[in-house]
Amino acid sequence: MKTNLLILIITSFFMLITKVNAQDYAGSNACKTCHSAKHSDWLTSGHPYKIQKLENGQAPVYPLLSSHKVVGPDVDYILKPGVPQPPKGYTWDQVGWVVGGFHSNARFLDKEGYRIIGDSAQYNLISNKWVAYEGTTPGKASYSYSCYKCHTTGASPVKNAEFQAYPGIEGSWVEQGIGCEGCHGPAKAHTTNITIKPTKNGYESCNNCHARDRGESFAWNERVEWRAQTVGGISTGFIRHREQGDMMGASKHAAVGFTCATCHEPHKSVYYENGGLKSTVSCESCHQNKEIPGHGLAQAQCVDCHMPFAAKNGDVKTFIVSEQSAHFWNIITDPVTMFGNLDTISGFKFIKKDGSGMSGLTLDYTCVQCHTDKDVNWASQYAKNIHAGITSVAQNSEIPSAYTLGQNYPNPFNPSTTINFSVPKSGRVTLNIYSITGELVETLVDNEMNAGRHSVEFNAGNISSGIYIYSISASNFKFSRKMMLVK
Ligand code: HEC
Ligand code: HEC
Ligand code: HEC
Ligand code: HEC
Ligand code: HEC
Ligand code: HEC
Ligand code: HEC
Ligand code: HEC
């Protein structure tokens, strides 16, 4: 069954690549009149921004979005799409295309279609920093065929007349970025005869791109690749980016027949809002009674433990946290780090699979991302059977053992809600409310407080409905959470 799926995936991929007739494509604009809501959702998702052609010296354009990202005590930043300036040594006039720049990083092609490489040739969005791309020597690389097949619509290895002008590009494409027909296939016939239905496949079509390259001499697609790295002097590593399809292939969710579209609304963004996640993704809708005694939602949500940011595209935030979620769901509870859970084949490191082809994530990502002063040996004692309540992690002492900021309740709320927090040591505490774009709305606490468990009420009074962020700062502890006001 698995092999069949794989063959299907590979075949559909080559169909996508080889059977391209530009005249069969209508372009996303042609879908707008009849599917206007889908079209406007899609415009604020990442897919259209995979590659943008620049004309007349214009800077690339992105939708106005922003998102506050928080993981454990050490990660707190605001993510926004966009690139502030062209790469070093270039003006926008001299840049032909921008690749990405929506959520993770941006790379650039010159006017001839060659990739611009060297020092300060890549812009990383989560750190707002320019970094080296393919070494530090400035120059241009020959464009790899494999890039555009996942970053455009209607990619073809055949160079048509228009693309003869770009020696750096090996093939051609019909539309910049992933347009409607990037997932639905050529649909011109449908625009004039709506009874001819385009395809709408929610797994194989995604895996054409959300997986390691296919068609290489080495079978990337059968395994999830991991790369060792040193971050802040600590030996660690991350799952390589765009492997959601490979990870899912080694999970029970795929084994029971889930597709990406079981959880994702493919026309909406996930990085900037949870609009791209269907209501069915609420893990509790299928998995009941998973509360952990003493370690409730206030401490960690289902995705914090089961889908931590263990995969890396552009940047890392701490030695264990990067920017993309693991898609295994399973957690390995033995006291091993990822270094002990790998197979090395031909110099590449792959995450181990068990006898039935399943993989999982180790406790360094699952628990140590928040419990930054602990290790897998500590975590393993609590992690086994954690939902069965056999090992309760509840604490009874009056003085809490760590700083915490609880989820407000009720949530959503109108007009007031309660926020609990704990401070293990006496000292100055501030608790601020911010809008989703980062403007200060109100300061709830700003004074010396005794060690203990505290709570404070927030009355939203005359502010409008929406998502707000509340952030605590005490000693070195900084933590933020979201709350929703519905009037
Ligand atoms: C003239 C109006 C019109 C245009 C233009 C149009 N569609 Fe449709 N489309 C429809 C209608 C009507 C349906 C049927 C709606 C339904 O089943 O709910 C439909 C259905 C679909 C479906 C669902 C097929 C299914 O099996 O349920 C997809 C996917 C789709 N369109 C994609 C596109 C794409 C991509 C484009 C642009 C290339 C496009 N449409 C352009 C009218 C249009
Ligand atoms: C990232 C891939 C992707 C892109 C890009 C995409 N779609 Fe879809 N679309 C899907 C999938 C997958 C489904 C089936 C969803 C499901 O099974 O729930 C779908 C479903 C649909 C449907 C059927 C109604 C529905 O909600 O299920 C329509 C109509 C449609 N898409 C139109 C469009 C139009 C128009 C665009 C461009 C503006 C577009 N799509 C872009 C993947 C995509
Ligand atoms: C097998 C398909 C595939 C190939 C080949 C590929 N990419 Fe990507 N790329 C993706 C996917 C999927 C994502 C987003 C999801 C992710 O990062 O997990 C992405 C993300 C990116 C981003 C970040 C986008 C953003 O908005 O933050 C950049 C930049 C990028 N790729 C550049 C390249 C370049 C340059 C090449 C060729 C050297 C390349 N990619 C080859 C599929 C591919
Ligand atoms: C032709 C290649 C391609 C296909 C097909 C494709 N993707 Fe993507 N996807 C990408 C690339 C490249 C990016 C990164 C672009 C960016 O964010 O700038 C991306 C980004 C995303 C993102 C993050 C961006 C956001 O808006 O939050 C999600 C979620 C996603 N894809 C889901 C899907 C799903 C689900 C499917 C199948 C229904 C799918 N993709 C099909 C290439 C593809
Ligand atoms: C639509 C229903 C559904 C949703 C939504 C869902 N799951 Fe599952 N999940 C399942 C099913 C079915 C299985 C397989 C059960 C089995 O085979 O024993 C499963 C298995 C699992 C497993 C066991 C993995 C293993 O290898 O043993 C974990 C962990 C899990 N899900 C976590 C989650 C999390 C976290 C979410 C939310 C992001 C989620 N699930 C959303 C239905 C769902
Ligand atoms: C069981 C539900 C589920 C399935 C199935 C699933 N995802 Fe996700 N995905 C999520 C959740 C939940 C998030 C957000 C996690 C978070 O908020 O930390 C996410 C996030 C993402 C993101 C972007 C943001 C990030 O944190 O990395 C991409 C891209 C993505 N998924 C692609 C895919 C693709 C492609 C598939 C199919 C191969 C897929 N997903 C299958 C639940 C799912
Ligand atoms: C999203 C962050 C987060 C994640 C992920 C997380 N925890 Fe926690 N954990 C907390 C917070 C916050 C507390 C509360 C500390 C307090 O009130 O003293 C806590 C408390 C605990 C406690 C009791 C207090 C102590 O320090 O002894 C244990 C045990 C514990 N967690 C184990 C785990 C294990 C095992 C995992 C991984 C399976 C895990 N946690 C994952 C945030 C997290
Ligand atoms: C503090 C981290 C943590 C949080 C939060 C958490 N889990 Fe788990 N979960 C684990 C660990 C660790 C295991 C593995 C337990 C084992 O194998 O003995 C697990 C196992 C599971 C399993 C498979 C085994 C079983 O008990 O059925 C499912 C399903 C699951 N979790 C769903 C959820 C859902 C749904 C949520 C949110 C309500 C959630 N988890 C929240 C750490 C967590």
Q: What are the pLDDT digits (tens) for 255-298?
A: 988 899 999 999 999 998 767 888 778 888 888 888 887 787 77
- Is any atom of ligand 1 closer than 6 Å to the C-beta of 181? yes
Best of 247, 283, 316, 327 for a ligand 6 pocket test (most atoms within 8 Å of beta carbon): 327
Q: What is the pLDDT of residue 389?
A: 60
Q: In this structure, what token pair is assigned to residue 44? A: 């604020």
Flag the least confident range among 126-135, 146-155, 270-279: 270-279
Whole-angstrom Cα distance, residue 424 to residue 429? 12
pLDDT (tens digit per residue) in 440-473: 999 999 999 988 878 899 999 889 999 999 998 8
CA dist 477 → 238, 267, 457, 473 (Å): 25, 37, 21, 6
Best of 41, 180, 197 for a ligand 1 pocket test (most atoms within 8 Å of beta carbon): 197
**Rounded mean pLDDT of 371-383?**
93
**Rounded mean pLDDT of 8-21?**
49
- Is any atom of ligand 1 closer than 6 Å to the C-beta of 175? no
Name residue, tokens 């005490």.
474
* Residue 10 predicted with pLDDT over 60: no
Residues with CB under 6 A from ligand 4: 45-47, 49-50, 100, 102-103, 150-151, 178, 182-183, 202, 205-206, 208-210, 260-261, 264, 266, 269-271, 276
Whole-angstrom Cα distance, residue 243 to residue 207? 9
**Rounded mean pLDDT of 292-316?**
88
Residue 235 Cα to chain centre, angstroms: 23
Q: 418: closest CA among 470, 369, 486, 380?
A: 470
CB proximity list for 300: less than 8 A, separation 6 or greater: 370
Q: 138: closest CA among 123, 120, 122, 118?
A: 118
Flag the least confident range among 135-144, 313-322, 423-432, 436-445: 135-144
Q: Is 182 exposed, middle or buried (0-12, 13-18, 19+ CB in 10 A)?
A: buried
Confidence grade of residue 319 (pLDDT, cut at 50, 70, 90): very high
* Residue 476 predicted with pLDDT over 50: yes
* Residue 207 predicted with pLDDT over 70: yes
- Is any atom of ligand 5 closer than 6 Å to the C-beta of 286? yes
Confidence grade of residue 215 (pLDDT, cut at 50, 70, 90): low
Flag the least confident range among 13-22, 134-143, 312-321, 348-357: 13-22
Mean pLDDT for the chain overall:
87
CB proximity list for 116: less than 8 A, separation 6 or greater: 87, 90, 95, 107, 108, 109, 110, 133, 140
Angle 332-322-408 (CA atoms, 0-180°, nearest 5)?
85
Q: Are 309 and 325 in contact (CB under 8 A)?
A: yes
Q: Are 400 and 428 in contact (CB under 8 A)?
A: no
* Residue 199 predicted with pLDDT over 50: yes
Whole-angstrom Cα distance, residue 232 to residue 229? 10
* Residue 16 predicted with pLDDT over 50: no
Q: Are 477 and 73 in contact (CB under 8 A)?
A: yes
* Residue 9 predicted with pLDDT over 70: no
- Torsion on CA atoms 290, 296, 301, 305, rounded to nearest 10: -70
* Residue 39 predicted with pLDDT over 60: yes
Flag the least confident range among 222-231, 434-443, 476-485: 476-485
Q: Are 123 and 83 in contact (CB under 8 A)?
A: yes
Q: In this structure, what token pair is assigned to residue 249? A: 């292939």
Q: How many CA atoms lie within 13 A of 86 on its CB side?
A: 16
Confidence grade of residue 7 (pLDDT, cut at 50, 70, 90): very low
- Is any atom of ligand 2 closer than 6 Å to the C-beta of 50? no
* Residue 11 predicted with pLDDT over 50: no
Q: What is the pLDDT of residue 393?
A: 44
* Residue 26 predicted with pLDDT over 90: yes
Please report, rounded to a whole number, the percentage of residues in the chain having pLDDT higher than 70.
90
Name residue, tokens 């399809």.
245
Q: In this structure, what token pair is assigned to residue 246? A: 């490979």
Atom of ligand 5 nearest to the CA of 285: 5
Greatest Cα pair distance in the chain: 75
- Is any atom of ligand 8 closer than 6 Å to the C-beta of 386? yes
Q: Is 255 exposed, middle or buried (0-12, 13-18, 19+ CB in 10 A)?
A: middle
Q: Which residue has the higher pLDDT, 38 or 143?
A: 38
Confidence grade of residue 103 (pLDDT, cut at 50, 70, 90): very high
Atom of ligand 6 nearest to the CA of 242: 29
Q: Are 464 and 418 in contact (CB under 8 A)?
A: no
